[in-house]
Structure 1
Amino acid sequence: MGARDKLTAVKIRAAAPGRYGDGAGLYLDRTEDGGKWLYRYTIAGRRRDMGLGSLDAVTLAQARRERDRWAAVLASGRDPISERAREREAAATREDPSLSDLVDTVFGAIKHTLKGEGEAGRWMSPLRVHVLPKIGARPASSLRTADFVRVLQPIWRMKPTVAEKAYSRLNLCFKKGKRIGYAVDPDTLAAARELLGDLHIEPEHIAATRWQDAPVLFTRLAGDTSGLMCLRLLLLTAVRGDAARGARFNEIDGSLWIVPKERVKGRLKAATDFRVPLSSQALAIVAEARRLSNDPETGLLFPGDRGEPISPNALLKAVNKIGEAGRPHGFRTTFRTWVQDTLDGSHDLAAEAALGHVIGNKVRRAYARSDYLDQRAALMQRWADYVTGESVQVVQLRPSAG
């Protein structure tokens, strides 16, 4: 077909109903009230017509560019119609992701705010175990209240703590998904919660050693393994396990240990470094760990077998080996109960600060910013003296009411 046979804007306006060729497979099917563009090609011996849009929406120049684009696809050995379908499916997936993709997107956006990027607290675990295997492949926009009721109902009563985490994380994903622009409706989750009913979560009390038995326990924890030394430091300082397991020598300055916020409980964005005053007995453990260390300047106080921080399971195995029913995290309760039973109420704020608990409401905290370091130092030395038997404490228990 020569240049004079190609279509022009004038020819198109004057054309009667029928099919007109522009060359290289581009055709216009003219109708009384408009028309549509076609790209005709042959692949594997089969002729195919590919629609390129209506005459009203696509100009002649645009139709030629589209024809050239798909002709290049054909020249590469691919079927233009099949390739366009694949592209549209990929675009639809981006605009309407599966639930699994939506969860991955939201988790990727927030994990930098979580401790250990969400792995320490296993943020994804409730969803990976109980939700995504059942409905993760579904487009998030297609999920309805009944779908969430179906996947959450089996754990709503049997595993209420896990169910609460699964629900709250799904709810977060749908709210953020809606803000991104996905066609998801957080109200479907709110309705599911109403149908599922109230969650009955019983507080799980961690087994704690009686404070009266703390001196005997400290003696039984004697030894120079990482597990035993870490447990002794936990008992003397009442810090959380993550803080002690990851402790490094360069975090300790004199008698002050500064736990970096990455190992302090709470959302990473809201957490701050935590100052821990060390008693003379705690400092002796640090000195012992330094003597045994291959890296006494910046290394771990309590390395595991592979040079990583000692694991929580290693601590549990150590207390189990000596037949101790109290759990490492329960040492915090041991300390707090000792304060409650043996000291007057003037030590309560220092004790709560020593445990890293939030004291007072937001307004009070805005003005009262002390971490009671001096009071805590005296209190923790008093506790360490009791635990190690370096002071004799005569305890008069409060009479019971009645």
Structure 2
Amino acid sequence: MRLRGKLTNLSVKAISPGKHCDGDGLWLHKTDESAKWVFRFSLSGRRREMGLGSTSHVTLAEARGMAREARTLVMQGHDPIRVRRDRAAEAAQRDVTFAQLTELAFEARKGSLKDGGKAGNWMSPLAVHVLPTIGHLAAKDVNQHDIVDVLKPIWRKSASIAAKALERIGIVLQHGAALDLPVDVTARTKARALLGDQKHVAIHIPAMPWREVPDFYKTLTEVEGKSALALRFVILTGARSAEVRELHLSEINGRIWTIPAARMKSGREHRIPLSDEAIAVIEAAKAVKVGGHIFVGPSGKPLSDMSLSKVMKTRDLPYRPHGFRSSWRDWAGESAKARHEVAEAQLAHVTGSRVSRAYARTDHLEERATLMATWADFVTGKGADDVAA
């Protein structure tokens, strides 16, 4: 015999802590701190409990109505917990905004981003140029005209940023489609057609001609400071400024510097052979280290990119630290006659087709070690006489 209506509004408030049955699967679970409604049921031989809410928000009559609906679903062979979850998902699909969908897409991708996306580079184009205008819109309502409206002002003025914003909008919409949201995944393509040609001319980072590097390097050896040492290491390794500035001593093993995938632009671990001169720079820099980092500033944190650029600006040079990668690459091709794949491997550039990369099993480390030793000799003046004029 089923028990119905054992509880009353008065008893719900006065009843002692414990689990109390109202009948037909409805229970009141009460503790000293709280009280909540629970519906108990069995489906496919499995006993389940479904929370119906706190007594402070759900009355006895409302709880009985919710239990009655859930009981009907069980009698029809449906799981009321799953039905409720599906209904909530459908409601979320109707109401999710483009800003909320952007956050979901970012959370799904940040594991593959450098440093987990903490630098904000992936989100920045959207946060600055897109979300303030259309972030409040329902994701399902965002169309190509909305995208054009937010990107048109910067489409040619800030072409690179606009292109990144458009690419990320496409990723967000694709993520929405994967969540079965009724979004228009073609909106990005249609917006691109409406925005037209960017007529953008790429501006390359100024690079010092490789024949001038030895003279500049000599000036760096004549001054003190971590910035000059870091810039020397940039020149000697062909690494990016950020990779050098955030170098940790644990990454150095003998004559090999292994940069973790998380710190690489490519997202892949990269090994760099170190010349005698590069090792000498490490030894000079690590005399003062903080937490394993050796290229640190007065604050105790890794040097900023501006600190390296300042070294060049104080000498009235138009070049930038990143340009030394180009300086080295030109030297490797013009003077050292290095094989293309070896030179590109040193810079951690991806070469060849996907198939050829899949079969590649070497990073040419030994050949690169010889190449970088020759470069160090040239930079320090030891091999100047052997270099083609």
TM-score band, normalised by shorter chain: 0.7 to 0.9
What is the rounded CA distance, in whole Å, between the counterparts of 2:360 and 2:112 in structure 1?
A: 26
Aligned counterparts, 1:83-162, within 5 A: 92-93=91-92, 95-120=94-119, 122-162=121-161
Q: Is the 8 A contact 2:93 2:181 kept in 1?
A: no
Count residues in correspondence.
314
Indicate conservation of the 8 Å contact 1:255/1:279, yes or no. yes
CA displacement 1:65-122 (0-9 Å, x = unmatched): 99x9754699xxxxxxxxxxxxx99984564311111111111111111002223361
Whether 1:245 and 2:245 are equivalent positions in the alignment is yes
Deviation at 1:185, TM superposition (A): 1.1
Partner amino acid for 2:204?
Answer: H
The letter for the 2-side match of 1:367 is: Y
In structure 1, the partner of 2:277 is 281
Partner of 1:359: 351
CA RMSD of aligned residues (A): 2.7
Q: 1:336 aligns with which of 329, 334, 340?
A: 329
Identity of aligned residues (%): 37
Kindly report which structure 2 residues correspond to 1:2-401, keeping only aligned pairs within 5 A, or say none: 70-71=58-59, 92-93=91-92, 95-120=94-119, 122-222=121-221, 223-266=223-266, 268=267, 271=268, 273-290=269-286, 292-294=287-289, 299-344=292-337, 346-396=338-388
Q: Structure 1 residues 281, 337: closer, same or farther in 2, change over 3 A? A: same
Amino acid at match of 2:304: S
| Conserved? CA contact 1:293–1:299, under 8 Å | no
Structure 2, unaligned runs of 5 or more: 1-7, 10-51, 63-86
CA contact (8 A) 1:208 1:326 kept: yes
Aligned partner of 2:331: which letter? W
SS at match of 2:258: strand
Structure 1 residues 311 and 70, CA gap change in structure 2 (3 angstroms):
same
Q: Distance in 1 between matches of 2:328 and 2:387?
A: 15
Q: Distance in 2 between matches of 1:265 and 1:246?
A: 13
TM-score with structure 2 setting the length:
0.74
Structure 1 letter corresponding to 2:97:
S
Which whole-Å deviations, capped at 9, do the CAs of 1:233-283 have from their partners, x for residues lacking one? 0001111122111111121111111111111112x3xx2x21111111101
Assess if the C-alpha contact under 8 Å between 2:289 and 2:295 holds in 1. no
Tell me the distance in 2 between the aligned counterparts of 1:375 and 1:229: 26
* Partner Cα separation in structure 1 for residue 388 and residue 288 of structure 2: 43
What is the CA distance between 1:164 and its match in structure 2?
0.8
1:205 match: secondary structure? coil
What secondary structure sits across from 1:258 in the alignment? strand
Q: Which has the larger radius of gyration?
A: 1
Distance 2:248 2:187 in 1: 47
CA–CA distance in structure 2, aligned partners of residues 188 and 351 of structure 1: 41
Residues 1:94 and 1:369: Cα distance change in structure 2 (over 3 Å):
same
> Within 1, Cα distance between the matches of 2:100 and 2:92?
9
Secondary structure of the residue aligned to 1:309 is coil
Whether the aligned pair in 2 keeps the contact of 1:115 and 1:121 (CA below 8 Å) is no
Sort the Cα spacing of 1:73 and 1:227 in 2 relative to 1 into closer, same or farther, 3 A: farther
| CA–CA distance in structure 2, aligned partners of residues 108 and 219 of structure 1 | 47
C-alpha separation in 1, matches of 2:351 and 2:120: 24
| Secondary structure at 2:262 match in 1 | helix
- Whole-Å Cα distance in 2 between the matches of residues 278 and 247 of structure 1? 14
Structure 2 letter corresponding to 1:236? L
- Structure 1 residues 321, 252: closer, same or farther in 2, change over 3 A? same
Superposed CA deviations along residues 48-74 of structure 1, whole A, max 9, x for unmatched, are: xxxxxxxxxxxxxxxxx99x9754699
> Relative to structure 1, is the Cα distance of residues 333 and 317 closer, same or farther in structure 2, using a 3 angstrom cutoff?
same
**Paired position in structure 1 for 2:5:** none
Question: What's the CA shift for 1:360?
Answer: 1.8
Query: 1:394 offset after TM fit, Å?
Result: 4.9
Matched letter for residue 369 of structure 1: R
Q: Distance in 2 between matches of 1:163 and 1:171?
A: 13
Matches of 1:133 and 1:393, distance apart in 2: 60
User: SS at the partner of 2:278?
Assistant: helix
| 1:96–1:183 Cα contact (<8 Å) kept | no
* Deviating 4+ runs (over 6 angstroms): 88-91
> Does the Cα contact within 8 Å between 1:96 and 1:139 map onto a contact in 2?
yes
Displacement, 1:173? 0.4
**TM superposition score normalised by structure 1:** 0.72
Provide the C-alpha distance between the structure 2 equivalents of 1:356 and 1:90, rounded to a whole number of angstroms.
Answer: 44
Letter aligned with residue 191 of structure 1: K
Q: Secondary structure at the match of 2:339?
A: helix
Query: 2:207 touches 2:319 (CA, 8 Å); kept in 1?
Result: yes
